[in-house]
Chains A and B, each alone.
Chain A
């Protein structure tokens, strides 16, 4: 059988050689080990020796032609053999040694483009999901430059919004449905920080039923972005937080007396019922830290600070300014602080920190004559207190069933059942009732 003369591979990364010269011609006899071809690689000129002894036949690559390594470049006939003994289809039916084990490492798609393209161009087209056939080529082959020019010429998706923001701010904005473009960044070079997003989000969210609508019946308006945010936030809270509600009725007689005396002592402005309640709530929260807490990542965080948010209705929506460190303030200080916050809220001049950091919320709809209602928890807090109107009505006041008319008020506590059990909530309300009915308790 004729011996195939295979062009040897000499380097790890070599694919072909240039045949400089055949030292023997077809029909010449060669000895095994005798130099037969002078070849040139990108490194060096070298000689290739005959793999067997015999007659050189069917040279497949002429002088100065490029020949692939590991492929047949000629044959050597043994004594007695002729050209007729050679395989029929030169080169093609030959062993595929080399190519068979070579891994296909190109990224080319299965369907090749009709025009030839550089590997980089093919990769780019694949990555950008464009049809290479549509790319006009400057030269013979489609190049990277051609693909880039094509990309620039067609309409692409709109560029990414370039608002500088921290990763945390971007995440929060996405979670809160806030557009980064609407947030004023407080970081260097105007970068939006997480707190900036929280402020924007908090400005528009409060766990409150809507105040009296000003709109005429039947009129339809698209949701404003503020309303949209309130809607999203409340929906998220209501859906993700299992709320429990507990309601108590409390006799406000002592509280009203107490408030009157305080007002006589402290002078103007008079202390509001809400301010008075904030003081008591702050006291009660210190005794029931689970209601002054946040559930996060399977951990209940008990806050040291007692910062009470006051749901405040504005024409354009709701806002919840926060009385920070309410447990460390007197009723008079709380009252002054609340007035200041309310004024700023109406003027739209609340600072970011004045609406942040709330750990509990009070919502008072008493001024609207509402007896009692349930409110949705303002995340990430774990509870909210809904305060109804003070209504005078007959009640039994002692063990002898004596009926008297007293100023009565309904308090409804909404709590996150993941954090707070019914008994804990009830105990908080019981303390509230005691404190309202016996204000001296705070002094003990």
Chain B
């Protein structure tokens, strides 16, 4: 299988779906000639023209409102938010309109739209361009939240998201755009709501998404080599709906759970994972307190060292895994 970047995978998913379905279009800021702030839509204007690569004014609320309106009457918009942080400007059309129309109207409306948004820290973009706001979105019934960690997942999940009939928040991580992974040349789709076990293990279940999957896999390798600790890394891939079954099954096997995310701790989704597990029979198999390792409760700072200290790094994960497995909590 050829290796392509995460950026290319997302690009390819959009291009293939736009070729397949004339209702699909891309709307957002600087997505045409510029190719999008992170270059994801580079070249798409040439293929699809300004009729389907709809460049907008800097009006985030109107972009999402327009996507929702178009979706309600039969189009399949993909809206690009330049940064995930800007989604906060769009809570009204996203949460009060797109997420609720179907329910509020007794099941008679559908709002098939995807909002793509790069999130996460690590680029020195500081507090207003580095947030991980997944939890805010996960809290809304009617919205699905997808967060791929690999090129393969990114393409397969984006294709499913575009074909889905609901408003989807598709969270991309800026630092992953350059990462490479194998992606088959033939068409494929990954169903939403299905977790992926990225590494099998028997001593501890580590749930992580996005870039934290990679950091967790690195940490798992280290503890395997240095401590003989066998970590199972589970990537939910879709945060809502959350695949609790797969996580709970893993916890039943390992008896220990660590959730790692970049988003801040308070009311972060790690709490949701832990609460969900405790509601399953797997609770009876827990042999250690469930733990979470998350971003600190701070805005993302600018300075390189401060920025790194604000979110979990590989060493932090290694330390946490050892502490749990060695019964220090």
Residues of A within 8 A of B (CB): 166-171, 186-188, 193-195
Contact = CB atoms under 8 A, between A and B. Distances in A.
B284 A168 contact: yes
B285 A171 contact: yes
A166 B287 contact: yes
Contacts of A186: 327
Contact of B327 (A167, A171, A188): A188
A366 to B, nearest CB: 38
Interface string B229-271: 0000000000000000000000000010000000000000000
20 contacts: A166-B255, A166-B286, A167-B286, A167-B287, A168-B255, A168-B285, A168-B287, A169-B287, A171-B284, A171-B285, A186-B327, A187-B327, A188-B327, A188-B328, A188-B329, A193-B288, A193-B327, A194-B255, A194-B287, A195-B287
Given A167-B283, A188-B328, 14 more contacts: A166-B287, A166-B288, A167-B284, A167-B285, A168-B255, A168-B284, A168-B285, A168-B287, A187-B327, A188-B327, A188-B329, A193-B327, A194-B255, A194-B287
Of B255, B283, B328, most buried by chain A (CB within 10 Å of CB) is B255
Contacts of A167: 283-287
Contacts of B329: 188
A187 B324 CA distance: 11
Interface in B282-329: 283-288, 327-329
6 tightest A-B contacts by CB?
A168-B287, A171-B284, A194-B287, A167-B286, A166-B287, A168-B285
Contacts of B285: 167-168, 171
Nearest to B255: A168
Contacts of A169: 287
A193 B329 CA distance: 12
Contacts of A171: 284-285
Nearest to A187: B327
A339 B255 CA distance: 35
A166 B287 CA distance: 5
A20 B117 CA distance: 59
A415 B255 CA distance: 29
Contact of A168 (B286, B327, B328): B286
B27 to A, nearest CB: 39
A169 B285 CA distance: 8
Of A168, A170, A171, A194, most buried by chain B (CB within 10 Å of CB) is A168
Of B286, B287, B327, most buried by chain A (CB within 10 Å of CB) is B287
A62 B290 CA distance: 64
A168 B257 CA distance: 13
A186 B328 CA distance: 10
A169 B255 CA distance: 10
A186 B284 CA distance: 19
Nearest to A191: B327
Contacts of B286: 166-168
A170 B287 contact: no
A392 to B, nearest CB: 48
Contacts of B328: 188
Contacts of A166: 255, 286-288
A297 to B, nearest CB: 8
B5 to A, nearest CB: 38
Interface string B272-285: 00000000000111
Interface in B121-171: none
Contacts of A188: 327-329
Contacts of A168: 255, 284-287
A169 B286 CA distance: 8
A167 B287 CA distance: 6
Contacts of B255: 166, 168, 194
B327 A170 contact: no
Contacts of A193: 287-288, 327
A123 B327 CA distance: 42
B178 to A, nearest CB: 39
Nearest to B253: A297
A235 B243 CA distance: 39
A293 to B, nearest CB: 15
A127 B2 CA distance: 63
A166 B283 CA distance: 9
B38 to A, nearest CB: 44
Contacts of A170: 284
A170 B287 CA distance: 9
Nearest to B286: A167
A436 to B, nearest CB: 35
Contacts of A195: 287
Of A166, A193, A195, most buried by chain B (CB within 10 Å of CB) is A166
Nearest to A185: B327
A192 to B, nearest CB: 10
A187 to B, nearest CB: 5
Contacts of B287: 166-169, 193-195
Nearest to B282: A167
B126 to A, nearest CB: 39
Contacts of A187: 327
Of A167, A170, A188, A193, most buried by chain B (CB within 10 Å of CB) is A167
A186 B255 CA distance: 16
A414 B94 CA distance: 65
B291 to A, nearest CB: 13
A166 B254 CA distance: 13
Of A186, A194, A195, most buried by chain B (CB within 10 Å of CB) is A194
A194 B283 CA distance: 13
A117 B288 CA distance: 44
A405 B75 CA distance: 93
Nearest to B288: A166
B65 to A, nearest CB: 29
A185 to B, nearest CB: 10
A193 B328 CA distance: 12
A191 to B, nearest CB: 8
A171 B287 CA distance: 10
A102 B329 CA distance: 52
A186 B288 CA distance: 12
A166 B286 CA distance: 6
A132 B52 CA distance: 70
A353 to B, nearest CB: 14
A193 B287 CA distance: 6
A444 B29 CA distance: 74
A193 to B, nearest CB: 6
A167 B285 CA distance: 6
A188 B327 CA distance: 7
A166 B285 CA distance: 8
A168 B284 CA distance: 5
